[in-house]
Structure 1
Amino acid sequence: MISQGSDNSGNLHEFGGKVDIRLIRVLLIFNNRKNEEYIASMVSHQAFEVTLCSDTSKVPNLIKGTKFDAIICEVNSRSPQLEDLLIWLSGLGRSKPYLIFSIDRRNENSLCTFIQSGVDDFIFNDSKEEEVFSRLKLMELKLKKDKLLKESLIKLRRDRKRYESLFLESPEAILVLQNRQGKVIGVNRSVRTILGYDGKSLLGKYMSLIFPQIFGKDGYASNGEVISGSTVLQSIPYRRPDGTSISLDVMMSAIPWDSGYALMMLCRDVSSRHSKEDGLISESKKKALECFASGISDEFGDLFTSIEGNLSLMESKSLNDLDLTDAVKSAKLACERAREIVLEVSALRGNRGSKSKVRVLLPQLISNTLNFSLFEFDRIKTVINVESSIYEVEGDEGQLRSAFEALIKNAAESVTRLRKGDGEIVVEVKNLEILPDNEYSIHPGSYVHISFKDNGPGLSREEINRIFDPYYSGKKNGRGFGLSRAAATCRSHGGHISANSQEGYGACFNVFLPSFTSEPRAANVDSNSLRVLVLDDEPHICAIVEKSLRKEGHDVYCTSTGKAAIRAFEKSSDFGKPFDVLILDLDIRGGMGGNETLARIRSIKSNVKAIVTTGYVDDTVLENYLEHGFSGVLTKPFRITKLISTVERLGKTNFSN
C-alpha cells in the first residue's frame, strides 16, 4: 500500500462561515498500474489525500483503520470479491464512503446494475482530464453537501433533545391541545405534580372535564372569549383529584401543528405566591390601621382635653366675662375641629360620590389652586403645561380643589428641604386614552391626566406603598390626612391616583379623571371670575363666604390673621394674579385687624378694592370707611345676596379700570 500526501492550502473552503481544513481522503483500488497512476495524479491535483490499494479484500480493514470519504474502484468485471465489497459497503449505511467505479466503455450497459448496488458515480478508463476533473469536482461538492446535511441533522437532533428536555422537565405543567375544545395530545411530567393527573391518563381526554371554567361549550371561555391565539388567565381556582385546592395562572398560546395549529397550555401553581401576597396585604392593612388608630386617638385626645379643660374653667366662679367668653370660644373651636375630623374620615369612603357634581374644566381650577396653595411657601418655581384642548370632567369642584391642594402642598413641603429658590413644581394637564390591560388597572376610555412633579428628595419604596394611608405622613408632626383624602376623592370620581419616585430625584403623583364629554374644550386658564381675599377669625363666617362666592364662579382665599392676609396678597402679586377684592373683618382677636391690614396692603397697592365687615355698627371706621381706604361696607349679619352684589360691583369696577 502506498500513501501520498498533498499540500493542505489547496483544500481551504468556506462553508457556513467556518473554514473547512480537513482533507478529503480517497482510496484508489486499481489493478492496472497505468490507470492507477493516471487517476492518482488527477486526485492529487485536487489536493485530496490519496491511498492506493490493489486488493478489494483488504478494503474493510483499511476503512476500519482510516475514515475514507471516497473510494474510486477499477472494475473490469462483476467478480464475487466485488459483490462482497458492495454488500459490505452498503452495510455501513450513512457512513458509506462516496463510491466511484472506473469502468471500460464496453461495460456501459452495467451502469444501472451498479447504481442499484450502491455506486454513486462513474468514470471511464479512457476519460479525458476535463471529464475526470468534473467528476471529482462533483464528488467534492456532494461530499461537502452530505457533510453539511449530517451536521444539520446532528444539530436538529440535539436541539430536539433540548426542547424535549425543556418541555418534559419544565416546572410548570404543559399540555398540548389538539383544538380549542381542548383534546389533550401531549403532556409533560409536571402535570402529575401540579394538576395531580398521570400524564398518560390525560391523553385523548378533553380539558372541559378538568377546567370547565375555562373550556366551556364549543371551546369558549366563561367570559365568551374564544380560546385561541394568546390568552392569560390569572388566579384560576383548581381542585386536584385528591381533593386539595390550589390557585393557577394559566397561559395559552397557539402553535403550528401539522397542517393547522394546536394550543399549548401552561399551568403555574401560584398558591404560595398568593399566600405571601395575602400576608403582605394583611401586614400592610394592619400597619395602616395602627397608624389610623394612633392618629385618631391622638387627635381626639387633644380635643377632649381642650374641651374638658375649658369646661372646668367655666365651672370656676372666679372667671370674669371676658375669660368666660374665651373659654367658650376655645371649646367651640375644639368641637369644630372634631367635626372636621369626622368629615375627613367620612371623606375617605371613596365609594360615596358627591351629590353636587357639575361639569368642571380643570385647567382654570388647577391654575388657581396652584397659586393659592403656595401662599405659605417662599421662592418655589412653578410651571403649568396644559394641552390646547382639554376634556371636561364631572365632579365636585370643592372636593377636587381640596385634592389638588393636598398634592400641591405635599410637593411644596418636599422641595422646601432644598436650598431656597431651587424648588420647582411642574403640573401637566393633558387628555389621555386608556387602553385595556393598562398598567394602572383602570377601565379603558377617555381621561384627563394631571401630573404633579417636584424636584425634592423623592420617596422611598415604603413611603410610596403607604403614602395614601390615613394618618401616615413622612413629615414630623404631620397629620397625613391630605393625600388619603385626595385618593378617596379620585376614587369617588371614578378615577385613579398613583405615585412614583426615585430617591434623590423627586416624586411624581399622577391623577386620572374620566372625561364627561367626548369633545375637548379650549383650555382657557384666564377668565372673568374674581379673586377674593377674606380676613376673618371666625371659621364659620369664612366657610359661608367662601362657599357663596365660589358658587358664583369666583376664587376665594381665606385667612384668619392680618399677617397671613398680607402675605397672601404679596404672593398673589408675585404670581402675577393679584386679588381683585378684599373682605376684611375689623376685629381680629389678639392680632392685626382689618383697618391696619388694609393700611399695609395699600402701601403695596394703593388702589386696592376692599370691603370692611364688623358686628359693631357704631365703629367709627364704618362711618368714615372711605377715609380709611375701604370701598364698601358689610355689617354683620349680612345677606348673601348683599355680599355677592357688593363684591361683584367692586370687582367689575376694578376690571374697568
Structure 2
Amino acid sequence: DIQGKITIINKMAQILTEYSEKEALGKNIDDILYLFEEKTNTRIINPIVHVLKSREKAELPMRTILISKTARKYLISDSISPILDDEKKVIGVVLVFRDITEKEKIVEQNLKAQKLESLGIMSSGIAHDFNNLLAGIYSHINLALMESKNQDVNDLLIESLKTMDRAKALTTQLLAFAKGGKPVLKAENIESFLEDTVKFALTGSNIIPVFKLAKNTKMVLCDKNMIDQIIYNLVINARQAMSKGGKITITSENSFYKDKKEKDEKNDEYVCIKVIDEGEGIPPEKISKIFDPFYTTKADGHGLGLAICYTIARQHNGFLEVESEIDKGSTFSLYLPVAMKDDIGLFYEAKREKNKEKITSMENNKKKVLILDDEISILKSASKFLEKKGFIVETADNGDSAIKKFQESYNKNEPFDFLIFDLTIPGGMGGKEVIEKVRKLDKSVIAFVSSGYSDDNIISEPEKYGFNEAIQKPYKLEDILTMIEKYLK
C-alpha cells in the first residue's frame, strides 16, 4: 500500500524471500525485501518511494541482488508500477521481480567461451611449433643418456629432462585454449591420481591437505592429464591465497549438477570434486572475472591458471564454479560427467592388456619402421634410437617421399611393420592424406599418428582415420617403443 506495507505476496515471491504469506502480510517492505546493488554492495531502501511520487513505472538498477531470509543470494530484474484508482490517485504499488541468476550465468559463460576461443587461435599455433622443437630436444637428450657412461653427465641430462617436462606442461596449458583441440576421453578413477596431485602441489608449503573422498565415487569420462592440470592449478591457487598456512580440504562425491538448464543433455550424473581453502576470499566485484584470461589479482600472476581450468572443464562437458567469502575462504567445484558402461569396459580391457607380459627382445626378429616428419632432428634421433633397439628404419620428410618408400617396399614383398606419421607437414601431404593412400594397399600395417597440435579429431579418435593410436608431441623415445611393443607378437 502507500505506506509501504505488504498486502499481497504470491508463491514465487515467498519462495525467493523465504517468508511465508503469514510472516509477510502487514510488514513493511524493507523488513521482508533485502535488495542490494551488486557492484557497490549498497542496500536499496524503500524502493517504492520514487514511484509514489512520480506516479510512473520504474525499474531498479540493472544488477540488483535479493538476499533471502537464510542469506541466499539471487540476481533479479524487477519493475515497480503504481496502482491507480478510477480518479487516477495512487492507492498502492505492485513490485514484480524475476530470478535471472541462471540466465545471467549462461550469458557470462558464453562470453567467457568467446574470449577463450580468440585466445585459442593464437596459442594453438605457438604450442604446435614449440612442441615440435621440444620433441627434437627430448629425443637427443634420450640418445645422450643411452650413449653416456658418465653418471655425473647422466644426472645433468636427467635434470634437463625434468625441466623439459615443465616446458611440456606449459604447452599443455596453451593447448587447452586451442580452437578445436579435444581431450582424449577415457574412463578414469579420480582417486587414483587426486591425492598425489594435491600433495605434489603443496610440497614445501605450510598447508595441510585434508581428503574427504566418498568411497562410492563413480568413474568419470576425462583426459587424465588435463584433469590433473585443473586440480594442480586449483590447489596452487588456494595455496597462494593462504600465506599464513592452514588446511585445504578436497572432497569428492557423486552428484546431479544443480543447474538443469546448463547441463549437457547426454549427462545426467556427475562427480563433483571440491577444493576448499581457508584463504582471504575473493571480493564480490572480482569473482565474475576470475575465469577471464589474463585477469589476475597477483603482482606476479599471468592470469591463465583459472582460465585454463575453466576451458578444460567445458571441453569435458563439465563445469567449474566458485563460491567465496571474504576472510573465510573459497570453494571451487569441478563437475565431471560420469563414465558410461562402455567406457568403463574399455578401461578394464586396457588395464588387462597393460598387465600382459611385454616382448622386449627384438634382436632376432627385426621389424621395419617408416617415420614421416618434417623435423629433421626428430627423424635423426628417432631412427637412431629404434635402430639401436633392433629395428630397420627408413625416414621421409614429406608425404610424397613416404608414399614412394612404402609402395617400393610393399611391391618387393618387404612391407613395413610400423608407420609413425606426423599429422601436419607444411606445404605438402601430412599424415592424414598419406595414411589414406597407404590403406588402399595395406589395411593391416600398424600406423601411429603424432602431432604437436591437432585442430580436428584425429589425435583423440585416431581409429576413425586409419591409425591405430596417437602420440602427442613432445614425446620421449621410450614412449614410441612402448607403443610398438604393444603390437608385437
Identify the TM-score tier after normalising by the shorter chain.
0.3 to 0.5
TM-score (norm 1): 0.29
Q: Which has the higher contact order (CA 8 A, sep 6+)?
A: 2
Q: Which one has the largest radius of gyration? A: 1
TM-score (norm 2): 0.38
